[in-house]
Structure 1
Amino acid sequence: MARRRPKGVLEIGLAAAVAAATGRTEHVATADDYPDHIVRRISFKAGGGLGWRISALATPRERVAPWKIVVVTGAPSWAEYWAPALAALPQDREMIVVDRPGYAGSEPIEYVGDIRLQAQALSPLLEAKPGQKVLLVGQSYGAAISVLMAAGAKPRKLAGLVLLSGYFGHSGPTADFLLKTGSRLLKLIPRDLRHAVLEVSNQKPQLDGVRAALTRLRTPVHVVHGDRDDFAPIEIAEALVAETRARRPIRFERVPGADHFLNDGPVDVLLAALEACLPKPRFRLAWPQLPALQWPWARPAQAASPSAELA
C-alpha cells in the first residue's frame, strides 16, 4: 500500500523544506512504496545540446506498449505525485513523468525561466519505439511547455496533446495568494518552491509564442479541466479553446468536482480522462463474403453408375 503523499499548501511546503534540509530529491521516496518493476526512477540526457541530466519516473514494460503517455508536470515539478497513476496503469500502456529542469533530481540546479529551453530539454521524451504512438500531457505550468514540444514533434508519432489543468498566465485566488506570499519570502523558501514562484510570475510574457504554436498544430488537442480549480480558473481554459483558431477543433472536457490537482484525486478518474484522449480504433469496412459460383462446364465429369450402364 502506497503511503499518503503530502497534499495541501502547508503540507507541500513543509515536505519541500524537509527534503531540502535532508538533501533528498524525492519528498517521499517512490522506491519505498513501489517495486522497481512497477515504478522506476530513470534519467536521460536533455535535448537541444544543453547537457543536463533529467530525472523522471517510468513504468517498465517487457513488451513494447502501443501507447506511451508522456507527462510534463507543473510547478513545483515533482513526478512522485504521479506514482499512484503510474502503478495503476494497464500493461498495454506505458507512462513517463518528468521532473522538469531545475526541480527535484533534474539538472540544472539553477532556475530555468525560458519555456522554449525547457521544451528543447524535454524533447527526447517524445521518442517512440517502432509501432508506438505518443500521447503528450502537459499539466498546469507544463501545459504551455508541452504545446511548444508538440510544435517541434513528428506528427506521425505524436497522436495527441492533452492540456491538463493548464495554467496560462491567470491565477485563481489560491494561486494568487501563494504567489504574493512566496514573492515576499523568496530568499527563505526551499529551492523548488522558489523556482515555482519565479516560473509562474514570469510566464505571461512568453505566452504569445505558445498561442501561435497552438494554432499551427495538426495534432489533436484535448483540454481537460476541473470545474473547481482555484489555481487556474476553468474560465481561462474555456476562453483559450474559444479564441484559438486551430487547424482542427479542440476537444474540451470539464471534470465535475475536480480541483487543480487531478493526479491527487481518484486514479481511475484521471486514467479514464487520459484514455478518452486516445484515438479510437479505425472502423474497417468488411465486404460480405459471396458464395462460390459453380458453372456447369466447370464441374468435373462424373463416372456413369452401374445401373445406368445396364439400362
Structure 2
Amino acid sequence: MARKRPKGVLEITWAVAESAVRGRQEHVPVADDYPDTVVRRISFAAGGGLGWKLSAIESPRARSAPWKIVVVTGAPSWAEYWAPAIAALPEDREMVVVDRPGYAGSEPVEYVGDIGQQALALSPLLQAKPGQRILLVGQSYGAAIATLMASANPGKVAGLVLLSGYYGQPGPTAEWLLKVGARMLKIIPRDVRHAVLEVTNQAGQLEGMHAALRRLKVPVHVVHGDKDDFAPIELAEKLVAETRTRRPMRFERVTGANHFLNDGPAEDLLATLEGCIPRPLAFKLSWPRWPNRLWLAKPKARAAVAT
C-alpha cells in the first residue's frame, strides 16, 4: 500500500524543507512505494539545446501501448503525486509525468519563468513509438505550457486536456498563499518560492496561450472541478466560451472536485482522462449495392436501353 503524500500548506512546506535538509528530491520516494516495474523514475535531456537534465516518472511497458498520456504538472511541480495514477493504469495505456524545470529532480536550480522556454524544454516528452498516439495533459499552471507544446508540435499530439487549468487569476485560497509567499520569498523552500514566482508572473504570458489554442486542430478538453478554490472554474468556462478554435472545445465540470483531481481516487482520474480519448471507429466491410439490375447487364444491353 502506497503511503499518502503530504497535503495542505503546512504538511507540504514541512515535507519540502525536510527533503532539502536530507538532500532528497522526493517527499515520499516513489521507489519506496512501488517496484520499478510499476512506476519508474527516469531522466532525459531538455529540448531546445538548453542543456538541462529533467526528471520524470513513467509506467514501464514491455509492449508499446496505443496511447501515451503525457502530464505537465502545476506549481509546485512534483510528479510523485501522480504515482498512484500510474500504478493503476491498464496495460494498454502508458503515462509519463514530469518534474518541470526548476523543481524536484529537474534542472536548473534557478527559477524558469518563461512558459515558452518550459514548453521547449519539455518537447522530448512528445516522442511516440510507432503507431502510438499522445494525449497531452496540462495540469493547473501546466495547462498553458502544454498548450504551447501542442501548438509547436503539430502532428505529435492527438488530444489536449487542460486539467484544473490556471489562467492568471487566483481563487481565494491561492490568493492568500501568494500574498504570504511573496512576503517570505527569502526563507521559504526553493520549490515553493519558484511556484510563487511562476504564478505571480503568469498572466502577462497568456496571450501566447490563447493564440496557440486558436491554431490547434486537435480536440481540446477543459476539465475543472466546481469546488476549485485555487483556479476559479469561471475562468475555465470563460476560456471555452470566448476562444475561437478550429473545433469546439469540450468542457467537463467535475461535481464536488477541488483543484487537485489527482489527489482523489486514481480510478476516477483515469476514467476522466479515458473520456478524452476517442473510441476506435468500428468499420463494417460490405459489398457495394448497385442502384438497379441494369448495371449487371451486358454492355450492349445497357447501350440499347440508353438509346
So what's the TM-score if we normalise by structure 2?
0.93
| Matched residue SS, 2:224 | strand
Superposition pairs of residues 124-203 of structure 1, within 5 angstroms: 124-155=124-155, 157-203=156-202
1:99 paired with 2:99, answer yes
Question: CA shift at 1:288, angstroms?
Answer: 6.3
Find the aligned partners of 1:139 and 1:289 in 2 and give their Cα distance.
48
The match for 2:118 is: 118
Question: CA shift at 1:286, angstroms?
Answer: 3.0
The match for 2:249 is: 250
Question: CA shift at 1:22, angstroms?
Answer: 1.2
Find the aligned partners of 1:161 and 1:16 in 2 and give their Cα distance.
30
The match for 1:32 is: 32
More off after superposition, 14-23 vs 119-128: 14-23
Identical counterparts, % of pairs:
72
The match for 2:52 is: 52
| Matched residue SS, 1:211 | helix
| AA of the residue aligned to 1:171 | P
Indicate conservation of the 8 Å contact 1:39/1:87, yes or no.
yes
Find the aligned partners of 1:174 and 1:286 in 2 and give their Cα distance.
56
Root-mean-square deviation over aligned CA pairs = 1.1
Runs of at least 5 residues in structure 1 that lack an aligned partner in the other structure: 291-311
Question: CA shift at 1:99, angstroms?
Answer: 0.1
| AA of the residue aligned to 2:280 | P
After the TM superposition, list the runs of 4 or more consecutive aligned residues in structure 1 that deviate by more than 6 angstroms: none
Runs of at least 5 residues in structure 2 that lack an aligned partner in the other structure: 290-307
Question: CA shift at 1:10, angstroms?
Answer: 1.3
| AA of the residue aligned to 1:267 | A
Provide Cα deviations, 1:122-157, integer angstroms capped at 9, x if missing partner. Answer: 0000010000000000000000000000001132x3
The match for 1:87 is: 87
Find the aligned partners of 1:282 and 1:168 in 2 and give their Cα distance.
35
| AA of the residue aligned to 2:249 | I
Find the aligned partners of 1:132 and 1:125 in 2 and give their Cα distance.
13
Provide Cα deviations, 1:174-217, integer angstroms capped at 9, x if missing partner. Answer: 00000000000000000000000000000001011110110110
| AA of the residue aligned to 2:160 | L
Find the aligned partners of 2:13 and 2:166 in 1 and give their Cα distance.
20
Indicate conservation of the 8 Å contact 1:16/1:192, yes or no.
yes
The match for 2:237 is: 238
